[in-house]
């Protein structure tokens, strides 16, 4: 495995850097979880905010991110302030329990999706902008790569994945192209897949969006089971977090943001409250008891990056931060 730390190739600019840690309201002595360590930007700020007596537990399913952080945070790890966990954040409940911290966590942040390292490093196979093996796994030690999926799945299943996770209107046509192509030669590189789509799907070169964009997004979400991971986190976070603690999630596309918005809304009990007869004389406590409110949304609208942040880091442009304080 390449040494990304020594060659300084692990690059990522944290999105909504201050805002996403501030919203957790961290204090010295708190115990925070960073579900998505990546380049360690948010983890570093969390460590600063909870010092000198607090702790941070940071997850990443990508061993390269973990190895990079082992070097970057060697002192904090040695002093017990930082614990790194190489696991998917869908396992947050089990992992935090194993550390004896269940119910003691005062804030969880998840900055979901891929890092700039994933997109910029051709060998990871995430981007049609760089030619590399069609892999797309965040955890290269397990699961099937995108090229294995495309080599073995039925055409119907490929079309379904491209439609469901990429919302690609030409999903069936693209799935057929892939299956016709694999009879001659399996698709093994990002360039082969991108060129195949670009050569057959009508697109205006002047348009800013490459015609393979949605297919690449879909395959990445499918290969890494990203939406199930998010659903699991949303289900388990209320048991992991101490009363009064905060769950904050940064998402980057509408499929994820919809899940976050609906789950947080449900935790407030609002969904069911709306179905209660309006003329019942109920106190707020009674309503909360009846609707099992588990939390309060911190801001009614998602926080988004400023124009300046987007100018400096265009990859931040679709980020949305939502947060809920749990009871």
Ligand X SMILES: C[S@@+](CC[C@H](N)C(=O)[O-])C[C@H]1O[C@@H](n2cnc3c(N)ncnc32)[C@H](O)[C@@H]1O
Q: Residue numbers of the site for ligand X (CB under 6 A)?
A: 12, 14, 36, 38-42, 59-62, 65, 88-90, 111-113, 115, 138, 229
Residue 55 or 137: which CB sits closer to ligand X?
137
Characterize the bridge pairing of strands 295-297 and 320-326. Answer: antiparallel
Residue 285 Cβ vs ligand X, minimum distance, rounded to whole Å: 37
Q: Cα separation of 265 and 263, whole Å?
A: 5
Phi-psi bin for 41: left (phi > 0), alpha (psi -120 to 50), beta?
alpha
Residue 321 Cβ vs ligand X, minimum distance, rounded to whole Å: 12
Residue 233 · residue 306 · CB < 8 Å: no
Residue 20 or 171: which CB sits closer to ligand X?
20
Q: Cα separation of 163 and 315, whole Å?
A: 23
Which residues, at least 6 apart from 118, have a Cβ–Cβ distance to it below 8 Å? 62, 124, 126, 127, 138
Residue nearest to ligand X (CB): 38
Residue 55 or 68: which CB sits closer to ligand X?
68
Residue 190 or 293: which CB sits closer to ligand X?
190
Residue 117 or 170: which CB sits closer to ligand X?
117
DSSP-derived 3-state class of residue 32? strand
Residue 17 Cβ vs ligand X, minimum distance, rounded to whole Å: 7
Residue 63 Cβ vs ligand X, minimum distance, rounded to whole Å: 9
Residue 284 Cβ vs ligand X, minimum distance, rounded to whole Å: 36
Residue 326 Cβ vs ligand X, minimum distance, rounded to whole Å: 20
- Report the run of H or E that residue 165 belongs to, with start and end: helix 155-166
Long-range contacts of 131-135 (CB under 8 A, 24+ apart): 131/189, 131/190, 131/191, 132/189, 132/190, 133/188, 133/189, 133/190, 134/187, 134/188, 134/189, 134/190, 134/192, 134/193
Residue 42 or 214: which CB sits closer to ligand X?
42
Residue 86 or 176: which CB sits closer to ligand X?
86
Structure tokens at 240: 């992991």
Residue 31 · residue 54 · CB < 8 Å: yes
Residue 89 or 222: which CB sits closer to ligand X?
89
Residue 102 · residue 96 · CB < 8 Å: yes
In a 10 Å sphere around its CB, with 0-12 CB exposed, 13-18 middle and 19+ buried, how is residue 210 labelled? middle
Residue 38 Cβ vs ligand X, minimum distance, rounded to whole Å: 2
Residue 86 Cβ vs ligand X, minimum distance, rounded to whole Å: 9
CA dihedral 246, 248, 254, 258 (to 10 degrees): -10
């Amino acid at each position: 495995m390449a040494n990304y730390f020594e060659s300084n190739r692990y690059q990522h600019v944290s999105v909504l850097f201050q805002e996403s840690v501030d919203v957790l309201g961290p204090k010295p002595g708190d115990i925070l979880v960073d579900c998505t360590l990546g380049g360690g930007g948010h983890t570093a700020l969390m460590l600063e905010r909870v010092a000198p007596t607090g702790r941070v537990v940071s997850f990443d399913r990508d061993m390269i991110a973990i190895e990079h952080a082992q070097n970057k945070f060697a002192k904090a790890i040695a002093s017990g302030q930082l614990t790194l966990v190489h696991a998917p954040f869908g396992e947050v409940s089990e992992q935090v329990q194993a550390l004896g911290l269940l119910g003691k966590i005062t804030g969880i942040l998840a900055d979901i999706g891929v890092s700039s390292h994933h997109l910029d490093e051709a060998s990871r196979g995430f981007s049609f902008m760089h030619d590399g093996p069609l892999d797309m796994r965040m955890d290269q030690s397990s699961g099937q790569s995108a090229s294995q999926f495309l080599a073995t799945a039925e055409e119907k299943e490929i079309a379904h994945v491209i439609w469901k996770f990429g919302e690609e209107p030409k999903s069936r046509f693209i799935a057929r192209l892939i299956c016709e192509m694999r009879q001659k030669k399996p698709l093994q590189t990002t360039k082969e897949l991108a060129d195949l789509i670009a050569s057959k799907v009508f697109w205006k070169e002047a348009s800013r969006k490459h015609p393979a964009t949605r297919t690449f997004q879909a395959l990445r979400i499918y290969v890494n089971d990203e939406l199930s991971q998010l659903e699991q986190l949303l289900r388990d976070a209320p048991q992991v977090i101490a009363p009064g603690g905060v769950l904050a999630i940064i998402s980057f596309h509408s499929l994820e943001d919809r899940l976050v918005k609906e789950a947080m809304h449900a935790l407030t009990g609002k969904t069911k409250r709306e179905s209660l007869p309006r003329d019942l004389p109920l106190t707020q406590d009674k309503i909360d008891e009846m609707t099992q409110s588990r939390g309060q949304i911190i801001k009614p609208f998602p926080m988004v990056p400023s124009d300046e942040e987007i100018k400096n880091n265009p990859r931040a442009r679709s980020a949305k931060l939502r947060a809920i304080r749990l009871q």
